Amino acid sequence: MFTKETYINRRAQLKKTVASGILLFLGNDESGMNYEDNTYPFRQDSTFLYFFGSPYAGLSAVIDIDNDKEIIFGDELTIDHIVWMGTQPTIKEKSERVGIFNTQPSKKIVAYLKQAQEKGQKIHFLPTYRPEHQIKLMNWLGYSPAAQEASVPFIRAVVNQRNYKSAEEIVEIEKACDVTSDMHLKAMQMLRPGMCESEVVGALTDVALSAGGGLSFPIIATVNGQTLHNHYHGNIVKSGDMLLIDAGAETEMGYAGDMSSTIPADKKFTGRQKEVYDIQVASHLAAVNALRPGISFKEVYELSSKVIVEGMKSLGIMKGDADEAVHAGAHAMFFPCGLGHMMGLDVHDMENLGEVYVGYDGEPKSTEFGRKSLRLGRKLEPGFVLTIEPGVYFIPELIDLWKDEKKFTEFINYDKLETYKDFSGIRNEEDYLITQNGARRLGKKIPLTTDEVESLR
């Protein structure tokens, strides 16, 4: 944990911004996988972690701005808990570590909130992403899930703090990135034809857990990289395949790393793989070189998309004017996702609070296929931490669909594209901090170019 002053200052800033009412924070509970006591690994809610530090289940908190009170609600462990699961600091100890001296048993929160409602105080809460949060809001505030309207001022205030990473957060994020780099280096060193994808997943998990933290999201390690979030790990990697890996570590404090690499099963890429890989790298570097405060991420996305179109033109797969093709959305055939996202305590930082607030500063997002998946579009500012991850994907179902619809025939040579239908996909991903005058890559460098990757094979 950071020092208690960090948490005290974060809460002070939040109170100043929201200015009135009660801020309600729902910590996470244990969650059963297949029966109550067989639980998923516990993960505290990230906003709770940010303001209250405590990585323990069963806590809630209230900041009563109107009455200048900060209270953590929770129950002490019973002897049965301690016998089976071990002990923990008391609620008082957990709270004092972050500068909170008012603690109460869980059941008291109901009366506290009821009284506040009766006095006409506004109770602000954030969007929920777990059913138990919705049940709590229903039981405590009387709103059915459909009527639970999250507070926009609360969302915006939290986003406005968490989007700007402090120096001590950067240190933590960089720790996560270093372990993440080690995971990718391990994959580049170990991959051989004949291995199962799951062997690579096992080895990467070992790197992350051995470093003392965990995974920041379920590992993607697939020969079918054309499926953007492919979580199947049962294929044997054959000579001639590429393995697309998207994997990241999380530190003990909860900060994430997130990188991707695409590795040939053999010691070298084939000529055809290299041609497409080089297009991805050119797009990637165009994006990285454009990073600076003041540029909008939408603009960086347009730049990187144009490089992909130019590359597809060089292969004879696309034709026409690259600017016009990108403007029309034809690049989304090969790049149907975003260029990157904010990263912090969540791998897609604060995605639960809404991309429009986190990545667009409240401006509406595009609804167009491809552009709608751009999680980040806003002007970049110092302190933002984000990923750069353009990709080049050949998705057979999308090729068939658009070909049948005769979509973008002025930009796409479908006959040539047919010959790439079995190509799969390529993505490389790095993590960057926006600095005062540019950007800095976070974590140890992992091989990016084909030469760099092949030198480790």
Question: Which stretches of the chain bind ligand GLY, using CB under 6 A?
Answer: 217, 246, 258, 341, 347
CB of 340 to Mn ion, least distance (A): 7
State yes or no: residue 346 binds Mn ion (CB under 5 A).
no
State yes or no: residue 304 binds Mn ion (CB under 5 A).
no
Give the total of residues touching Mn ion (CB under 5 A): 2
Q: Which range touches Mn ion (CB under 5 A), out of 73-81, 285-293, 296-304, 386-394?
A: 386-394
Q: The tokens of 344 are what? A: 């912090």
164 binding partner (options ligand GLY, Mn ion, none; Cβ < 5 to 8 Å by kind): none
Which residues lie below 8 Å from residue 114, measured CB to CB, with a gap of 6+? none
Which of 217, 369 has the CB closer to ligand GLY?
A: 217
217 binding partner (options Mn ion, ligand GLY, none; Cβ < 5 to 8 Å by kind): ligand GLY
Which of 60, 261 has the CB closer to ligand GLY?
A: 261
CB count, 10 Å around CB of 10? 20
Please provide the size of the chain in residues: 457
Q: Which range touches Mn ion (CB under 5 A), out of 206-214, 322-330, 385-393, 413-421?
A: 385-393
Q: Which range touches Mn ion (CB under 5 A), out of 84-92, 179-187, 381-389, 439-447?
A: 381-389
State yes or no: residue 430 binds Mn ion (CB under 5 A).
no
Site for Mn ion in 153-212 (CB under 5 A): none
CB of 389 to Mn ion, least distance (A): 5
CB of 355 to Mn ion, least distance (A): 13
CB of 217 to ligand GLY, least distance (A): 5
Angle of CA points 380, 385, 391, to nearest 5°: 85
CB of 347 to ligand GLY, least distance (A): 6
Question: In whole angstroms, what is the distance from residue 394 CA to residue 173 CA?
Answer: 32
- Residue from the set 60, 95, 262, 387 that interacts with Mn ion by CB under 5 A: 387
Which of 64, 258 has the CB closer to Mn ion?
A: 258
Question: In whole angstroms, what is the distance from residue 144 CA to residue 138 CA?
Answer: 5
Helix (H) or strand (E) holding 71: strand 69-73
CB of 248 to Mn ion, least distance (A): 8
Q: The tokens of 75 are what? A: 């129950």
Q: Which range touches Mn ion (CB under 5 A), out of 290-298, 317-325, 379-387, 404-412?
A: 379-387
β-strand partners of 23:
63, 124
Taking each continuous run of H as one helix and of E as one strand, the counts in the chain are 16, 17
Which of 28, 387 has the CB closer to Mn ion?
A: 387
Per-residue burial over 259-272, b = 16 or more CB atoms within 10 Å of its CB, e = otherwise? bbbbbbbbeebeee
CB of 94 to ligand GLY, least distance (A): 31
- Residue from the set 172, 258, 346, 431 that interacts with Mn ion by CB under 5 A: 258
C-beta pairs of 167-173 under 8 Å, 24+ apart in sequence: 168/2, 168/6, 169/255, 169/344, 170/385, 170/433, 170/442, 172/251, 172/253, 172/255, 173/255, 173/256, 173/257, 173/343, 173/344, 173/385, 173/431, 173/433, 173/442
Residue type, 169: E
Which of 322, 347 has the CB closer to ligand GLY?
A: 347
Contact between residue 453 and residue 435 where contact means Cβ atoms under 8 Å apart = no
Which residues lie below 8 Å from residue 20, measured CB to CB, with a gap of 6+? 65, 66, 122
CB of 263 to ligand GLY, least distance (A): 16
CB of 429 to Mn ion, least distance (A): 5
103 binding partner (options ligand GLY, Mn ion, none; Cβ < 5 to 8 Å by kind): none
Torsion angles phi and psi, residue 307, rounded to 5: -65, -35
Residues that bind Mn ion (CB under 5 A): 258, 387
